[in-house]
Structure 1
């Protein structure tokens, strides 16, 4: 099947009429926002919607012909469906309400395709908890597999009455001659028309039990299960079967078994067990469910288990991974907990060897950089909600509060010699700013202040007096970091821009640009050149080191609010805590 210059994959079993009907629904803005594909078992509902998703996804397709996300319903729960859908639509969310709000803020219509909905863990729960609220949004169009009389169709409530229905049991949606030719080609029964599942015998195959699946796991010579040689689909089936027969808790004894199996299957099984490992899986879920590499999944889960279940974390430490958390602190951690982290700075002067962590409520704490060991609480002249902080080479610490006011914090032993100069420079910068301050940093050989505002402009001090300003972003500047050699900014526009200290103006092209706002940036000078890091609202963190083959991308499952870089570590602050990563 083709549509002009567009290449559409073949649709077999005589289903071209059904395929054209779906393409027509997609292209018609007046069509009902919910399209329900119905039919008896084996009618080919999943095959049709899988084809539809493949035919209509891709950035090059015009918006009216595009499906923006496909969710295979098999083994889905509300959580796993939410995490996957959020990631595919560019949003990190932890509740259906957050996703709907994010889509409303974006204002972009989206189309979501859900094949195999009947094989979700609880189809009616998935509909009621996520799909029905989406169907009620004017920005969302859904095409789902939901047969007449089934729990999923009933759970859509009044939305079903308004839906377009494509019933594959009706003969007009299947070409008899093409069906017969297809059945003959696969050795099937043409008399099963119009049901391809009945024709080729694929309908109604029973699932294997946990014992049958365990017997299929490869073994070491001594008889122990060889998880490294086991296929992730097999291990996913094992988690599903164990959840059904109540033995899922027994699989938690080996944390590697979680990260080697298909994440959607593990997420479904986590609903049946309790403890720090399932809690860590849920916390990291948005990063785990969409990750294809088992080694990366091991790194993510281990980061969330440090201080929560050290036995499981140690087991995951045996897996060779592209990056590794050196330490982390989360709520309830045995390592301590600093609270939410809204600002991070690498300490200097009296804070050398320490990290300064600011929480949104206005508390600044210090921890040991190498171990994360909590050290002290920093006394502030007055308590106020904080947005960020920065440290100058002489130990001067700058604070930015939630109202956009910048100030200088004295060192523990008294204000350093540079404190007065920093205050004077801040006054000069704030006098030049026309909008509200949104970020601050220190930069240049002298570590003088730099600030950014909600108009997209960045302001820095000249070494010999005066200030420079450049409009670097469309919309507010959301993050700023500096070193002796450069100034790095991130914006609501998703761009990361670089301004070298010795240059009159910023680099013409962004270092990075993505379709999500920047939430944090960091930079550090190294003998090979500056290393930089940036985080975006969809949860991605990207580290660039000089001389490396390419950037390192990672996700922790939470939005990163603050970043700091040392020569060895990338430190990420989130609303749940903080982690220091070596990569």
Structure 2
């Protein structure tokens, strides 16, 4: 088959256009290709990584659906393009029904942008090859031409193949949703809702902004209750106040409630900025959560309601992570893997004569000063300092009298991307690590780590947090595809999940069982219900 030869040929054009009139077999051909590409034993050169039927899709919804299949939480075509550009692995994408898309020109612009990358191969189905596609110098298979048809083989395969969908736009018969009604938009085809919100110039009480903010999480296969929860979390403070109550009622079966939230543009209380990293204050008098933004500024907010508690006086350029120490000070990790120690304004300090006697460096300060090499993740676990590196190793440092004990273990293939821990009896630590390899490992320094991963997905870990709650220890994992996973450590209940819609930058498990999730657009605190 010619298309298989095209996929194997490194010199072939990056784009192959399947064209022809209605009824010429384009849909059957692509159904056959998808069948071949999804077999367990398919060779790498023939594997398809993304398949998005474009009927009824805009460039935005096509990007959302394709991002989901590629393991990303991209929120816009530009985000998808950046994600694909950064991944140098071979990526084959099939896009049927371009001629039935809701915005062919915008979708073609997306196709042209993806075609720039050497690792990408695109198979696009359309009735006629446009000037924009022709400019890509694609391979063209016009199925009206006899050279592409083996009638005898085609007849044998077609007789056993499932009937293809009609060559008409999908979803056209569904009733139009009421864009002001949460129940309606949560229950109707989400692609149709997105298209209508894209075209609308009204706010619809704040539902439009919340829908577009939640992004591709809403177009995934999910229940109306799940969509209601995601919309509830994404509502801005300028939304109709009745919407939160309506969405809460619709989301009651999801097992989560929104305790508080701050989204981009909120004024009262103000949005603290992109939540690149989070850390819970372990100093009992603090009750603060450190929120690190993209400018290296660390703001402090109240764990219970998100109110501002101030900010650290010095920004750290290129900061990537932050960790509260036991005494209330914070360790900030920059993009070069260097740690600095900063004092939290909410932490207690000695006064009077006691302050004059406070001359010795603090335990955390000594541990930070002893760090060697570049770190990629950091966590404070009781009196210990844990950090990971780009080679997948985790080190745990602890003061022992006048010396520093260091435990070391290679736990991941590739960089460590998240660390969390729980303090055990007698000062021992239990450390959880997440990596670029998509694994979450558990390790008690001084002991052999578990041979198998606690969790493993074909998706890197972006954030990790652990806490002791009234119901026992919990672990929260943020994944690169936008999934947040919450589960008990010492029990086997079904895990809880949440998708904010945007890439998950940070998570924080609170001692009362709540969970904070940070993205570039919002900071939301969820409570199990």
Give the TM-score normalised by structure 2. Answer: 0.84
Q: Say whether 1:132 aligns with 2:82.
A: no
Q: Say whether 1:384 aligns with 2:316.
A: yes
Q: Say whether 1:561 aligns with 2:505.
A: yes
Give the alignment partner of residue 534 of structure 1, picking from 459, 463, 477.
477
Provide, for residues 200-258 of structure 1, a one-character-per-residue CA deviation record: whole Å limited to 9, x for no partner.
Answer: 9x667x99xxxxxxxxxxxxxxxxxxxxxxxxx68x8334xxxxxxxx7xx11211222
Provide, for residues 414-445 of structure 1, a one-character-per-residue CA deviation record: whole Å limited to 9, x for no partner.
Answer: 43799988844443454352x2133222214x
Q: Say whether 1:295 aligns with 2:225.
A: yes
Give the alignment partner of residue 101 of structure 2, picking from 111, 120, 125.
120
Q: Give the match for residue 379 of structure 2.
A: 441
Q: How does 1:126-525 map to 2 (within 5 A)?
A: 126-128=107-109, 130-148=110-128, 153-159=130-136, 161-168=137-144, 170=146, 173=149, 175=151, 237-239=174-176, 251-274=178-201, 275=203, 276-305=206-235, 307-309=237-239, 310-319=241-250, 320-333=253-266, 334-349=268-283, 351-372=285-306, 374-380=307-313, 382-385=314-317, 386-403=319-336, 404-410=338-344, 412=346, 414-415=348-349, 423-428=362-367, 430-433=369-372, 435-444=373-382, 447-462=383-398, 464-465=400-401, 466-485=405-424, 486-500=430-444, 503-525=446-468
Work out whether residues 408 and 423 of structure 1, in 8 Å CA contact, stay in contact via their aligned partners in 2. Answer: no
- Which SS does the other structure have where 1:91 is aligned? coil
Q: Say whether 1:110 aligns with 2:91.
A: yes
Work out whether residues 276 and 294 of structure 2, in 8 Å CA contact, stay in contact via their aligned partners in 1. Answer: yes
**How many residues in Structure 1 have an aligned counterpart in Structure 2?**
503
Q: Give the match for residue 36 of structure 1.
A: 17
Residue 269 of structure 1 and its aligned partner are, at CA, apart by 1.6
In structure 1, the gaps of 5 or more residues are: 1-19, 187-195, 208-232, 240-247
Residue 74 of structure 1 and its aligned partner are, at CA, apart by 1.1
Residues 387 and 107 of structure 1: is their aligned pair in 2 closer, same or farther, counting only changes over 3 Å? Answer: closer
Work out whether residues 533 and 543 of structure 1, in 8 Å CA contact, stay in contact via their aligned partners in 2. Answer: yes
Q: Which moved more, 1:56-65 or 1:553-562?
A: 56-65
Residues 524 and 440 of structure 1: is their aligned pair in 2 closer, same or farther, counting only changes over 3 Å? Answer: same
Residue 178 of structure 1 and its aligned partner are, at CA, apart by 7.4
- Which SS does the other structure have where 2:131 is aligned? helix
Residues 28 and 237 of structure 1: is their aligned pair in 2 closer, same or farther, counting only changes over 3 Å? Answer: farther
- Which SS does the other structure have where 2:323 is aligned? strand
Q: d(CA) in 1 for partners of 2:415 and 2:359?
A: 29
Residues 421 and 82 of structure 1: is their aligned pair in 2 closer, same or farther, counting only changes over 3 Å? Answer: farther
Q: d(CA) in 1 for partners of 2:94 and 2:20?
A: 17
Residues 365 and 31 of structure 1: is their aligned pair in 2 closer, same or farther, counting only changes over 3 Å? Answer: closer
Q: d(CA) in 2 for partners of 1:529 and 1:32?
A: 56
Work out whether residues 16 and 138 of structure 2, in 8 Å CA contact, stay in contact via their aligned partners in 1. Answer: no
Residues 402 and 30 of structure 1: is their aligned pair in 2 closer, same or farther, counting only changes over 3 Å? Answer: closer
Work out whether residues 339 and 368 of structure 2, in 8 Å CA contact, stay in contact via their aligned partners in 1. Answer: no
Q: Give the match for residue 13 of structure 1.
A: none
Q: Give the match for residue 7 of structure 1.
A: none
Work out whether residues 407 and 423 of structure 1, in 8 Å CA contact, stay in contact via their aligned partners in 2. Answer: no
Residue 315 of structure 1 and its aligned partner are, at CA, apart by 1.8
Residue 88 of structure 1 and its aligned partner are, at CA, apart by 0.7
Give the alignment partner of residue 33 of structure 2, picking from 52, 55, 71.
52
The structure with higher relative contact order (CA 8 Å, sep 6+) is 2
Q: d(CA) in 1 for partners of 2:147 and 2:52?
A: 27
Q: Give the match for residue 90 of structure 1.
A: 71
Residues 303 and 420 of structure 1: is their aligned pair in 2 closer, same or farther, counting only changes over 3 Å? Answer: farther
Residue 94 of structure 1 and its aligned partner are, at CA, apart by 3.5
Provide, for residues 468-497 of structure 1, a one-character-per-residue CA deviation record: whole Å limited to 9, x for no partner.
Answer: 222323333222222213222222333222
Work out whether residues 310 and 345 of structure 2, in 8 Å CA contact, stay in contact via their aligned partners in 1. Answer: no
- Structure 1 or 2, whichever has the larger Rg, is 1
Specify which structure has the higher proportion of helix: 1
- Which SS does the other structure have where 1:284 is aligned? helix
Q: d(CA) in 1 for partners of 2:387 and 2:258?
A: 31
Work out whether residues 43 and 169 of structure 1, in 8 Å CA contact, stay in contact via their aligned partners in 2. Answer: no
Residues 76 and 461 of structure 1: is their aligned pair in 2 closer, same or farther, counting only changes over 3 Å? Answer: same
Residue 79 of structure 1 and its aligned partner are, at CA, apart by 0.7
Q: d(CA) in 2 for partners of 1:156 and 1:425?
A: 59
Work out whether residues 428 and 467 of structure 1, in 8 Å CA contact, stay in contact via their aligned partners in 2. Answer: no
Residue 76 of structure 1 and its aligned partner are, at CA, apart by 0.8
Residues 528 and 59 of structure 1: is their aligned pair in 2 closer, same or farther, counting only changes over 3 Å? Answer: farther
Work out whether residues 340 and 573 of structure 1, in 8 Å CA contact, stay in contact via their aligned partners in 2. Answer: yes
Give the TM-score normalised by structure 1. Answer: 0.77
Q: d(CA) in 2 for partners of 1:420 and 1:327?
A: 41
CA-based RMSD: 3.4
